[in-house]
Amino acid sequence: MEPMIKENLKAHISNNNSNSETILGLNTLLSNYQIYYQNLRALHWLIEGKQFFVLHEKYEEWYTEAAENIDEVAERILMIGGKPTHTLEDYLVDSEIKPIKNIYGAEEGIQVVYDNNKYLLEHFKKVLKEAEKADDEGTVDMMSGLIKNTEKRIWMLKSFLG
């Protein structure tokens, strides 16, 4: 994690919290999830071509799921003594997933979703390891579920891309 990002996130942790690394990881995840969510919204709005009906609906399914996961991550941060990042400015600074712009085609859009999910999967695994070190079973359980769902999505996206 870049030093500027880590410093920005440290403001959201109370002193001497045994879950500090987990909270840092969850806040980075929250920022990335927010950009992923917005990327899905953009793809949903802008999709054109023969795959329109299928992908328009699929993008909506995925951004709805992402919105629910965002809420769960933010609430988990609060449960373990942190404060979730909550501004667009913070999300843009802290996110390693980059916002997309002007993507209209099916394959290019699915490639974005695939790449974003690959990043999220790796980050879920990092947070899982930190949560295990902190003996934080709630976060471990959450990350395990996210890993399972994301691995399946990645498999499906890879199949779509051929």
Q: Residue 66's beta-bridge partner residues?
A: none
Domains and CATH numbers, the chain: 3-161 (1.20.1260.10)
Q: Give the orientation angle of helix 20-46 with respect to helix 106-133, to 10 degrees.
A: 170
CA-based end-to-end distance of the chain: 32
Which pTM was predicted? 0.90
Residue type present at position 19: N
In whole angstroms, what is the distance from residue 30 CA to residue 25 CA?
Answer: 9
Q: Is the pLDDT of residue 102 over 80?
A: yes
Q: Give pLDDT, residue 6.
A: 55
Write out the DSSP string of 44-72.
Answer: HHH--STTHHHHHHHHHHHHHHHHHHHHH
Q: Give pLDDT, residue 18.
A: 78
